[in-house]
Amino acid sequence: MVWVLSAVVIVIIGAAVMAASGRFGAVPPVVDDRPAPDLPPGPLGPEDLRGASFAVVARGYSMAQVDSLLERLAGQLGQASGRAEEEPTTASEEPSQDPGMTT
Residue range 19-69, pLDDT digits in tens: 888 777 776 787 777 777 788 888 888 888 888 887 887 778 888 888 888
β-pair type (56-57, 60-61)? antiparallel
Distance CA 38, CA 54 (A): 9
Q: Is 59 a member of any domain? A: yes
Q: Is 53 a member of any domain? A: yes
CB 9 within 8 A of CB 38: no
How many domains in the chain? 1
Q: Is 68 a member of any domain? A: yes
Q: Is 30 a member of any domain? A: no
Q: Is 24 a member of any domain? A: no
CB 54 within 8 A of CB 66: yes
Q: Is the pTM of this model over 0.75?
A: no
Range of the domain at 46: 37-85
Q: Is 93 a member of any domain? A: no
